[in-house]
Structure 1
């Protein structure tokens, strides 16, 4: 089994945090989004992972440190790491084809901007599985249409009339991903463009037209990381799941001076807490100092300083300094508010 992870986007909706850090590397509950996604998929597949292929964007942005962290992630899971580059952003289908040498055999393709809780028992009768989540507003998503056999017959993007309430979340299984490769090559060769880009859906539709059987897999939780508001909410939900699983969340090296921690919280190595109340639902990266503050429902990344603050629904980047009275803030790396 292979895992293919397209992650070349710049994450413009999560700025300023993605001006210096690729969105899939933004930490949620103390761990980068892409690390959580890949580890979760590997943990529920119940099959050995032979290779994990990452498709990155501009090498000037996705630098050596990112590449090495992704290689280490794959190796830790017992898989061969492979790095590909999408130097020209031409859509989801084009991104997948940038990993063409790895597109053979059984594979899961997972876009690295979402986190899930799911049952990955694969339907062996299906040529492909598309994971979906029941939503209240299907008109805002791409959805699947099913026949009487519960086979996917159609993909509809943001339907104006009701088709179904099962939204596509961006995780796919292919019994032989070479079939998708063949159809996406046709899409590229014949310049089939939707929304100005080459889309994975056009390859999937061609597979359906050729008689391939597509089934749905349903996730119980789908957590987006598209913008600051939903990323903070995803952090809250993930901390809840980790607390239920009794996962260790507070490093032994945390220095606590007259401060109260209200769980669940993730607090990284070397964090210093002084005269503060932290939690619930707070993630604090290593080396950060929180002083004379009250922080809840927030993400604060590494090596930052927060003083005299009351924070709720806040997101503060790396190496930032915040000293003030604002509550709902979003401050990028190396920023200073004093």
Structure 2
């Protein structure tokens, strides 16, 4: 089994946090978004993960090494491919064409999920979906009486289905997917000016490929600050009974911890109230503050703060009062 992860986007909706690191490396409950994604896919696959291929921009050597370590953590080889120009989802996946062999999962790195199923690797293809109240903003799938996908409909104005496509796909034959993606590029078949995966899916379906849905129990978006803070909250609830959420090297001095929280290595919490639903990164210091429902990244210092529903980046120095914050890396703010 191979996992293909396109993640070359610039993450503009997450600025200022994506000015210094790619969005998929922003931490959720102490681990980067993309690491959570890889680990959760591995849990539902019934086969070992052989390779994880990351399609990125030129993010630098450190990011590439971090990504390879994420693959190694699930026993897989990490491969790096580059997308030089944003030409659509089909083009992005095809950038990793050398890894499109055998059974593959394609997962776009701005979404996380909770699933209660094991992936049926005998299926031709599987589209992961979530039931939504209002399907109009999403791509949806329509099913027949045999629970097979008959149509892919993008942002339907009239009700077609409430099964929204979340951006994770399984293909039994990666080489077949590769050839269908290449066909789009060779014949300049575009939708809204870009080469789209959904066009390849439609062609495969018309040629006899049977796609089935895999309905997840929760779909978590990391597209903007508020959504990412909420995803952090939900993940902390998922893992609240795991060991090691508060690092043994963390120093807690005259403070109250309200679970679930994650506190990283060598963090210092002094005269503060932390939680619920807070992630504190490595080497961060929180002094005389109240922090709830927030992500504070690494090497930051918070003093006299009362913050909630906030994201605070790496190497931030903050001293102030109650706020709803979105501070990027290396900022200094005093009220």
Identify the TM-score tier after normalising by the shorter chain: over 0.9
1:50 corresponds in structure 2 to: 50
Deviates more, 1:291-300 or 1:121-130: 121-130
Q: Deviations over 1:199-237 (max 9, x none)?
A: 111111110111110000011111110000010000000
Is the 1:114–1:224 contact (alpha carbons within 8 Å) kept by the matching residues of 2?
A: yes
Alignment of 1:216-227 (within 5 A): 216-227=213-224
Is the 1:45–1:120 contact (alpha carbons within 8 Å) kept by the matching residues of 2?
A: no
1:123 corresponds in structure 2 to: 120
Q: How many residues align?
A: 334
Deviates more, 1:16-25 or 1:77-86: 77-86
Structure 1 runs of 4+ with >4 Å offset: none
Across the aligned residues of Structure 1 and Structure 2, the Cα RMSD in angstroms comes to 1.1
Task: Please give the alpha-carbon distance, in whole angstroms, between the structure 1 residues aligned to 2:293 and 2:121.
Answer: 42
Task: Please give the alpha-carbon distance, in whole angstroms, between the structure 2 residues aligned to 1:144 and 1:219.
Answer: 14
1:179 corresponds in structure 2 to: 176
Query: Does 2:84 match 1:74?
Result: no
1:35 corresponds in structure 2 to: 35
1:44, CA displacement in angstroms? 2.0
Structure 1: runs of 5 or more not aligned: none
1:248, CA displacement in angstroms? 2.2
Task: Please give the alpha-carbon distance, in whole angstroms, between the structure 1 residues aligned to 2:243 and 2:92.
Answer: 35
Task: Please give the alpha-carbon distance, in whole angstroms, between the structure 1 residues aligned to 2:110 and 2:38.
Answer: 11
Give the secondary structure class of the aligned counterpart of 1:89. Answer: coil
Query: Does 2:203 match 1:206?
Result: yes
Is the 1:137–1:165 contact (alpha carbons within 8 Å) kept by the matching residues of 2?
A: yes
Task: Please give the alpha-carbon distance, in whole angstroms, between the structure 2 residues aligned to 1:142 and 1:328.
Answer: 32
Over 3 Å counting, the alpha-carbon distance change for 1:192 and 1:247 in structure 2 is farther
Alignment of 1:1-338 (within 5 A): 1-57=1-57, 59=58, 62-123=59-120, 126-243=123-240, 245-338=241-334
Deviates more, 1:176-185 or 1:294-303: 176-185
Task: Please give the alpha-carbon distance, in whole angstroms, between the structure 1 residues aligned to 2:97 and 2:185.
Answer: 13
Give the secondary structure class of the aligned counterpart of 1:67. Answer: helix
Over 3 Å counting, the alpha-carbon distance change for 1:85 and 1:120 in structure 2 is farther
1:124, CA displacement in angstroms? 5.1
1:42, CA displacement in angstroms? 1.0
1:81, CA displacement in angstroms? 1.5
Task: Please give the alpha-carbon distance, in whole angstroms, between the structure 2 residues aligned to 1:163 and 1:65.
Answer: 45
Task: Please give the alpha-carbon distance, in whole angstroms, between the structure 2 residues aligned to 1:237 and 1:229.
Answer: 13
Q: Deviations over 1:43-99 (max 9, x none)?
A: 221211111111111x1xx11111101111212222122110001111111000101
Q: Give the TM-score normalised by the residue count of structure 2.
A: 0.97
